[in-house]
Amino acid sequence: ATQMTQSPSSLSASVGDRVIITCRASQGIRNDLGWYQQKSGKAPKLLIYAASTLQSGVPSRFSGSGSGTDFTLTITSLQPEDFATYYCLQDYTYPRTFGQGTKVEV
């Protein structure tokens, strides 16, 4: 199975900060990667697919980059509603695998 190593596992940030989360695949996955946001007690929400394409309705302060094995999610100017846990998901091969998650907190 393709392992997804996400870092950091948690980070402290303030409103207005720039946040960068990384995800590394154990093998090349082209750009078959998505990023998801999950708030406490809620279902995950799709932010980005194909590594860098913003899902409709998602604010432009979110961006993704990368290809092959290394990927990043960047949040420019963190907003209060962005405090949540973020997951990467590779959809290149089965089994689908998520990163361990990154909790963004105050």
Partner 1 sequence: EEQVVESGGGLVQPGGSLRLSCEASGFSLSSYQMHWVRQAPGRGLEWVSSLGEKNTGIYYVESVKGRFTISRDNAKNSLYLQMNSLRAEDTAVYYCARDFDHRQNSLYYDSFDIWGQGTLVTVSS
Which residues are at the interface with partner 1 (CB under 8 A)?
A: 1, 31-32, 34, 36, 38, 42-46, 49-50, 53, 55, 87, 89, 91, 94-101
Could you give the strand order of the β-sheet that contains 4-7, starting from the edge strand earlier in sequence?
4-7, 19-25, 70-75, 62-67
Of 97 and 104, the one with the shorter C-beta distance to partner 1 is 97
Residue 49, SS3 per DSSP: strand
Of 55 and 76, the one with the shorter C-beta distance to partner 1 is 55
Distance between alpha carbon 84 and the CA centroid of its chain, in Å? 11
Shortest distance, position 43 Cβ to partner 1, whole Å: 4
Of 20 and 44, the one with the shorter C-beta distance to partner 1 is 44
Distance CA 46, CA 37 (A): 7
